Structures are given as structure tokens and as C-alpha cells.
Amino acid sequence: MENTASTIAETLVASFSSVPEQTSLVLLHSNQPDEVIRYCDLELGSIAYAQLLTQAGIIPGEVVILILPHGKDLIYSFFGAILQGAIPSIMPFLTEKLSVDQYRTSLATLFEITSPAAVITYPEFVSEVHLAASGAASVRAVLVTTQLDALAVDPLHQLGGLDRKPSDIALLQHSSGTTGLQKGVALSHQAVFNQLAHYASAIRLTEEDVIASWLPLYHDMGLISSFLMPVLLRCPLILLSPFDWVRAPVRLLQAVSRFRATLTWLPNFAYNFCTQKIRSRDLDGLDLSSWRAVINCSEPMHWKSHAMFIERFQPYGLKSSALATCYAMAENVFAVTQGGINQLVNIDTIDALTFTSQQIASQVSPEHPQALPMLSAGSPIQGTQVRVLNPQGRELPDRQIGELAIQSDCMLTGYYRRPDLTEKAFLDGWYLTGDLGYKAQGEVYVTGRKKDLIIVGGKNIYPQDIERLVNDIPGVHPGRVVAFGIFDEQTGTEEVVVIAEMEHSKQNELESSPEYWSQAAAQLSLEIRQKVNRGSDIVLSTVQIAERDWLLKTSSGKVARTANRAKYLASKFPAG
């Protein structure tokens, strides 16, 4: 699937002229008819948004933030910004799960760092955008989807996107954190096309493939694998709303069966979620035999999740050979490695004791008493190299665990308007991922994270954000809070645990009465859950109120997350 165009805008225009009636994507909605978008529809809808940006005085090369729900306006505004020459960046929109104040604060911080020239949003959210943008002088226009009604569409040749160069920034991706999206990954047109060419080859993509997805487009897995790649390479895309999928995960399988989809990307938790939540009666008549690759990506991968998934859905035509893996990150546009396309995904059985005590992945038989199965992420895709480095930056041999570093022709231009972060991210031309892993026989195994990042359902959770929220609660001893992740085999993803010490003066009052202590601890635990639930987009799995001086700190006075996590796992805490 060759692409001779040098920019995304040129590729779109080529599709508009050569295959105008071909279906580009189908939007599925709950209790509403499907929306079929042909390339000629994509052309008209995108040009309308491009004109809207031009009339608002947006200059090619300026950033445009998109805050829109699942639907054609999100699709058209993204490609409209590309055609106009602007740099689009998709952000999550506000839902009932998120705290309005917290979301507004995060958005204001993002505006300050990224300096967008415009925001495109839906009518119900305009006032919130204005509030968030009130301190950002860069935001010259807040545009609304309803403003398109009176516009006449200008011809393609007047659009500034056709004058952009391959080295120019095409789009920004933002890492999805708990309380903000402040680190924008700037990607050039050339980096995007290099990734698409290499990744399409790795997964053997053809125009006969059909991609089915529910993934949000503000995350790199959804944006690249299940949006840009199919649209630009002319593979039909079946796109569901993430919220519809969460409410009824069987809808993805129904879409696969109905449209004969061949490719889908899922975070690890989705394998468990589908296995546990989909009822057998909803599977009657489904045929999943068209699925040639269901690719596990975006969070740590676990072989048990694959085993559960294949056992549950094999009776409906799912082939075990369809289970595949991928290690990806926004900084490389998307994929770093790919496994399971040409052969079954490798499972490397290692000695758990040697792994934890010596950071060595010693291979053992599956019957070994300390056997730990590791799911391979596959081999690096073309144009990408992976090294494993020790703390001094020297390359380690196979089966020794260290930090994964990558070098590629898909690399980010930099973190947008953050040269400080860009400089810190590289060592002698190699991007330092912050992930830990090892290599064996040319394949990459991801074992954890160098930093304390927690991944819940594919979303990045920064423990310091959770700790900050909890520290502000009356009754919590300031600075005596820790948050960390624990992998839950039932859900297939990490769960967030918080341990907090009660304010010492309060403990003194209650120490003589275990009954009052228990009541006070239960109340404080409830308040912590409520505060985190309101102030972030996660629900805590476990909250424990610890006794005085339970938490461990480093010599410099910082909370030692790794040590406290180990202490928690070895403790006799009741389930909280």
C-alpha cells in the first residue's frame, strides 16, 4: 500500500479525487442509524471546517484544540484543520465522571503551555472553554460546530495545508494523565508516513482489511491505528463510541461480525472486560472468523488475558492465531514493535525469583515452581531499533532487564514548546522510554516502568496527582500519603491503591479506643474515595488508613512508592 504524497493534506486530496464514492468510515451510534462517510463526504465536511478556521484568522502552523464527542464533527474538524494547515490536537471532552473544576484547571494549564490559536467544541461546552481560556492570550477563537450552517465551501486549491512541508508538524498527541494533558508530542508529516508505511508492512495491511474500533481518538492507539491509518491508506473503518462500548462491549463483536472486520486494537483490560461482561445470549449468531488480528497494546500485556479471551470466544469463530501484541508510544507516532502476525505470539517462561532479585530473565520450563510467563511484544518494526540500557546508559545483553531506548525514523519532532523535556528524553540520539524490559532472540519483553506511572484501562495515572488530592483532605497527615498500582488478574489492568496516615493529633485522641479509631478510619477512607473520584477520572480500588509512621520515606524525605508497595503486599491489611 504505497503512498506517494508527502503530507497528510496531499494524501487526502488524492483520495478525494480518485475514490470519491468509496466508504472511508462508518460511525456507529447507540439507538441511531449508522453514518456512512465516503471520501466525497469527508472532503465537503473537512473543507467546511478548514474555511471556518480561515475565517477566524487562524494561520497555518498554529495549534487548534478539538474538544468534541464521538461523531462526524470530530472527524471533519480534525481533517479540516489539516487541510487548512493548522496543527490539530484532540482532547477528551467533559463527562459526568469528571470534576468540572479539575477539568477546567487542567485545560487552562494546557492552554498556557501549548498556546493554541483556536478551540473547536460543541455548543454545550462553549462556556467552559471560555472560562478555561480566559487567562490564555493565545486563544483568539472559540469555534462551535453550529457555526458551519451558513458557510459556503471554498475550493480545495485555496487551502493552506497543501503548502505544508513533510518536515512540518502535522499534529500533536497528548499523554492522557489523571489531571492534565500538558506534554504535547509533536509529530511531523514525514514521521507519520514513515510509521504508517512500516506498520502497514508489519501487520500485512491491504485494502481488503476492515478495521473495527471503539478507541478514543485522543489516545495514540485510537488516533493512529484506528483512525489515521485506515483513512489515509483507504481501509474501511468501523468506529464506535468508547462510551457505547463500555456500556455494551458486545457491540464491538457485533460490528466485527456484521462488517467482517479483520483488525482491532485493544488495551489489555479490554480482553478481561469482554470476557466477563458479555453475556452468552448476546453472542448468538455472531461470527468472529474474519478477525485475523486482535492486537494487545497500550498497557502491560498478560498471557492470562489472552487465554481467557480465546477460551471465551473461540466457539464463535475466533482463531487463536488472531491474538497479537504491540509495544507502542506516541513519541514514535505509534508502534515500536509488533508480534503475532506471522506466527503465534511467543510466551517466554522465566524464573520469577531471579527476575525480581537480580533483574535477569532466566528461562525455565513452565513446570518450574517459580515459573513466570512473559508475553512477547514482538520484534521492532522496520525503521525502529530498540536497546536495553543499564542506569549508566550502556547497552545490556539479552535477558538482562534495563530501560528500553528507541531510535527510529518515526520519532517525535519534540515535546511541543517544552525543549527542557525534549532534551531530557534523549541520550546520544536514543529516546529513553522510561519503560523496563529485556530482549531475547530479537523480540522485546516489557516488564514494567522505570517511573511510578500507573496504567488503568490504558489511561496513564500519575501517583503524585492522586497523592496531591488526598493530602488536601482534613484529617490526613500532610505528606504521609502514597499511591501505587497493583495488577488485578480479574480485570486485566492495574488498580490504584492509596495508603494514608491519619493526622497525628487525631490519632492521639483515638488511640485509646479501637472502636472510635475504626469508625474514624472508615469515614476518612470514604472521604478519600470521594475526593479522588471527584478530582480525577479514576475510582480507587483500595484505600487503607495506616497507623502513625507506617509509611516509608527516602533519606531525602520523599515517599518511597516502591518500598511502600512492597510493604503493602507483604502486610496483613484487610481488603479496603
Burial class (CB in 10 A: 0-12, 13-18, 19+), 394: exposed
pLDDT band at 319 (very low <50, low <70, confident <90, very high): very high
Domain spanning 454-570: CATH 3.30.300.30:
yes
Question: CA-to-CA distance for 206 and 67, rounded, in angstroms?
Answer: 32
- Which whole number is the average pLDDT over 358-374? 91
pLDDT band at 178 (very low <50, low <70, confident <90, very high): very low
The two beta strands, 35-38 and 63-67, are unpaired
Tens-digit pLDDT profile for residues 298-308? 887 889 899 99
Of residues 484 and 515, more confidence is placed in 484
179 has a pLDDT exceeding 80: no
- Which whole number is the average pLDDT over 495-508? 81
pLDDT band at 74 (very low <50, low <70, confident <90, very high): very high
Instruction: With CA atoms as reference, report the closest residue to 482 among 536, 571, 563, 575.
Output: 563
Burial class (CB in 10 A: 0-12, 13-18, 19+), 573: middle
CATH number of 346-449: 2.30.38.10
Q: What is the pLDDT of residue 286?
A: 97
Question: CA-to-CA distance for 370 and 392, rounded, in angstroms?
Answer: 30
Tens-digit pLDDT profile for residues 224-271? 999 999 999 999 999 999 999 999 999 999 999 999 999 999 999 899
Question: CA-to-CA distance for 449 and 435, rounded, in angstroms?
Answer: 4
Q: What is the pLDDT of residue 151?
A: 64
Pick the CATH number of 1-19+34-202 from 3.30.565.10, 3.30.1360.10, 3.40.50.12780, 3.90.640.10: 3.40.50.12780
Mean pLDDT over each residue of the chain, to the nearest integer: 90
**DSSP letter string over 157-180?**
GG-GGGG--TTSEEEEEE---SS-
Tens-digit pLDDT profile for residues 470-493? 988 999 987 889 999 998 888 888
What phi and psi, each to the nearest 5 degrees, are found at residue 316? -105, 20
The answer to which of 180-189, 205-214, 295-304, 356-365 has the lowest mean pLDDT is 180-189
The residue count of the chain comes to 576
The answer to which of 169-178, 509-518, 550-559 has the lowest mean pLDDT is 509-518
Of residues 31 and 204, more confidence is placed in 204
Domain-wise residue ranges, the chain: 1-19+34-202, 346-449, 454-570
185 beta partners: 173, 415
Could you tell me if 304 and 275 are in contact, meaning their C-beta atoms sit under 8 angstroms apart? no
